[in-house]
Amino acid sequence: MSPRTLFRAVALAEAATWTLLLLGLFLKYVTHTTETGVSIGGGLHGFVFLCYVASTCFIWVNQKWSAGTGLLALASAVVPYATVPVEKMLDRRGLLNGGWRLADGGEAPRGPLELAQAWVLRHPVPALAVVLAGVAAVFGFLLFLGPPDTWLT
């Protein structure tokens, strides 16, 4: 899977889960029919949001984006559906072109972020297990904290 394919997939998934979350919020606060939509949509959206952030950071390192580009890509996840136009803009500008530059036979990694990325690309199965465990740990911790509207009470 190329950086472009990965980014497009997570950007679309992030936007799709916004729909589930917004539908759940509508059912809870407008129609006052059920809170189940928020529980399901919010949980899915939270998980995909974390996957989007992790994938975006990984692609940011690979593509050598500027700080502004990387931060824009990350910030787009906070605004409903914004990941889709940001993905289109990055694609149009050629900022998603190419393959994984630090994979076997590619460039030599420089610095700790590139060393970590090279290890991930050269050891995909254990890396996937570590990433999924990390995302699950963060997700589990956030579930333990409860819904964001209860954090300050």
The terminus-to-terminus CA distance of the chain in angstroms comes to 44
User: Is the pLDDT higher at 151 or at 84?
Assistant: 84
Measured between alpha carbons, how far is 9 from 91 in angstroms, rounded to an integer? Answer: 13
pLDDT of residue 35: 83
d(Cα 108, Cα 101) in Å, to the nearest integer? Answer: 9
pLDDT band at 153 (very low <50, low <70, confident <90, very high): low
- pLDDT tens per residue, range 86-107: 999 999 999 999 999 999 988 9
What CA–CA distances, in Å, run from 7 to 17, 33, 93, 126? 15, 36, 14, 21
The pLDDT confidence band at residue 138, using thresholds 50, 70 and 90, is confident
10-45 residue pLDDT tens: 999 999 999 999 999 999 999 999 888 888 888 899
Query: How much of the chain, in percent, has pLDDT values that exceed 90?
Result: 70
CA distance 150 to 66: 36
Other beta carbons within 10 Å of 145:
10
Where are the chain's structural domains? 3-150
